[in-house]
Chain A
């Protein structure tokens, strides 16, 4: 059985920066318990001598020349989709809260 509890789901949601309602936490806890029971079966399949595959068709040393090409975004383009900016930089609300 999985160790998915409501507290753990709240903790994971905090790490993932997603506020969840209490209903969502309850719902997700039940669903994730079932899902983790299924996916956890992989840990019994492969022995230590099997190497991990992170990439289906591995490539190594994919480099390019360290020069700026003509297809980089302008500042204006980079800022165009931002919720808030000052023309040069992205604007955000306070970095630190009162307790910090």
Chain B
């Protein structure tokens, strides 16, 4: 019998449709895989096998009655812990929300349930999605399935590692400055940040509201597109939700995978993303992908985005400013943790003691930085200027997209680094987001797909494509086109080449939230 965890979501959906497997069998296979490897990988903060199996059994009953909710009915899904769920705790990787149960589901979770997807559990993440390595989780780091001494990227390292380690066929993530795309690059998987406002943020515990966007993580472009089709579209609960009618992204991916789809495509290569900051193997695989695109009939041209040089600086003002405001709700009154102080204390003292005990170092750092950036006398120079940089970056993109269909960049400067390596150097960590941040500042969609393995360290590398706002379908088409050429070389998804990891390595800390 073949290992069901090795199949893509699209393949599992086909097998469920033709009756060659059941949702219970598929779900049990993934739960078994989680039980076998997650002691090492620590991709999940919470799993509840009975809950998953009950949902799977209900799916099988619907199938048997000839009434599946969607083509994906019965396929398992991992959910980033930033998304609130009524039947599993939602912590956003923070101690301050340990064990917290949401009274409502995030819209994307509701839509996943309505499509019959089977939730497998909640995935690990940097606390409140602040980080690029998942080391800032209050519940201990996730390990990279390619090398368990290394980080899986962040903040969505749990979702990416779960998918890369065959613990789930696909997963939900959130991307504020690269938290879906950078972990995809680091783990040899696919990650898509949709156009701002195209996927509901309702029930996504807010980090920076003008940057946050929910999106899919998977091993193939088609699987990401299938999940995007389920979760996308207007939601009246999110006041930034776009009312556009979206095309089928799965259809775009399937068409893009056909021979000839790349002919005549104009791809702009961003000149700012090269040079010393970028690891040699990252650039080697990037250029090989461009050569493949060119050989398939795409036209490759150089493009300059001069203002992206200032993107990281602008981002680390806008994000902390918005985060300091969003995280004010953790006040020890309405939900989450409350510290006790001797003699009771005033509500303000209890609040301050709770936030001291409940927030980790990176969260404190960013809240204080954001409070500073918004202070009287600094607002115009810092926050105001950062918002102007945002305008300049949008203008750069507008100009570039006037002459090209998509832009291409390496997704991140380096492959996975060792756990602990950058923990004491926040600026080095922030610099990892150099190529992913501009899409969030401009609101445009971006996708990262694997482009190969860096020769010098054997670790995966991603290529990022960017498209104008609302042109998400174009990204699925182009990414599927390149992916089909790469899969032809590799004989399948890059994750199939990942070495077996030693499951004897224990995790550094205990499970949280369960």
Contacts and interface: CB of A to CB of B under 8 A. Distances in A.
Contacts of A93: 344-347, 350
A92 B385 contact: no
Interface string B336-367: 11100000111111111101100101001101
B313 A18 contact: no
Nearest to A27: B361
A56 B441 contact: yes
A28 B364 contact: yes
Contacts of B249: none
Contact of B356 (A20, A31, A94): A20
Given A38-B313, A43-B382, A56-B390, 17 more contacts: A8-B372, A12-B368, A12-B375, A13-B368, A15-B371, A16-B324, A16-B367, A19-B356, A20-B356, A24-B361, A32-B372, A40-B313, A41-B313, A52-B387, A56-B469, A62-B240, A93-B345
Interface residues of A, number: 55
Interface residues of B, number: 75
A46 to B, nearest CB: 3
B195 interface: yes
B389 interface: yes
Interface stretch (B41-49, B100-108, B168-176, B267-275): B100-108
B389 A57 contact: no
B199 to A, nearest CB: 13
Interface string A1-25: 0001000110011111111110010
Given A12-B368, A97-B346, A57 B100 contact: no
A84 B389 contact: no
Given A18-B355, A97-B346, A84 B338 contact: yes
B381 interface: yes
A42 B315 CA distance: 10
Interface in A48-77: 50-57, 59, 62, 64, 71, 73, 77
A92 B442 contact: no
B384 A94 contact: no
